[in-house]
Amino acid sequence: MTTSNDRPPEVRHRPVMLQRCLDLLGPALRRPGAVVVDCTLGLGGHSEALLTSFPGVRLVALDRDPAALELAGRRLERFADRVTPVHAVYDELPAVLGRLGTTKVAGVLFDLGVSSMQLDEADRGFAYSQDAPLDMRMDQTTGPGAAEVLNTYPPGELVRVLRTYGEERFARRIVEAVVREREREPFTTSARLVELIRDALPQAAKRTGGNPAKRTFQALRIEVNGELAVLERAVPAAVDALAVGGRIVVLSYHSLEDRLVKRVLARGAGNTAPPGLPVVPEQYQPRLRLLTRGAELPSEDEVAANRRAAPARLRAAERIREPVR
């Protein structure tokens, strides 16, 4: 029997809003010697399309997950002379480019959140729909997993995680139940946590909004992987790495990510002059031009074909000016 893990990456993964990403990055990638960075390689769907659509481009592909680098490497094997895979978290972009001797790039793509591979592999513990060890680390070679967070964090810290990263209204109720249960027996698997959350929530809260464990699992995943802290460093670093005319495209999957991306791009697209100046000096002029009006959403057809595209929000910008030193 063929499992989801046995299927090739191109079958397991449908890149989200793929054509829109290509259209937005395209004008910057048609220049000779253009370098594009895929900061979230995953199973390589966006990278494969970039390499196919722009035959002159060189790709730097980052991922913190060694398994993703291996699988995507097979998918991109025919482009090996144009691809540099790097095991790194995306806030390490400046250091990666420095090691490669690349000062400026033509394009940067972020496809944030958990990858299809990580969701589909039960032993990673990302999916609340199947029982698995509570891990949720994108890089399983380092750091504590979700079980350690649940079993060791003080109650107040757990409440903060669920409220801040999961926007969970019933964080305190869930944490009170977690603390009672972990004293009886430490958490090790996802099914036990899902059952606890179902029991802790009021009936009305369980009737809307999908699986009641969704927000808690999101919060734990973000905490385990430090996702928002990493993103807060990574997006400004990516903007700084763009050459004039270079473009950045970011796909977010929840409001916390999208708000952070919106803030960074909007700040770059506004002038920073003190109020009241009759003429805005060069050093205060915008560095970016926004390429999307707000956040763009996937089409109904795409969501129907790929349910994982439903929460996607896309923002993009173009570098129009170097900073004045």
Annotated binding-site residues for S-adenosyl-L-methionine read 44-46, 63, 90, 111, 118
CB 135 within 8 A of CB 147: yes
Q: Cα separation of 245 and 78, whole Å?
A: 29
User: From residue 227, how far is each of 90, 223, 233, 277 by CA, in Å?
Assistant: 10, 7, 10, 39
Q: Cα separation of 287 and 239, whole Å?
A: 9
The beta strands (E) that lie in 172-225 are given as none
- Binding-site annotation: residue ranges: 44-46, 63, 90, 111, 118
Give the β-pairing of 313-319 and 242-252.
antiparallel
- Edge-to-edge strand list for the sheet holding 313-319: 83-87, 58-63, 35-38, 105-111, 242-252, 313-319, 288-290
Please provide residue 242's backbone torsions phi and psi, each rounded to the nearest 5 degrees.
Answer: -75, 135
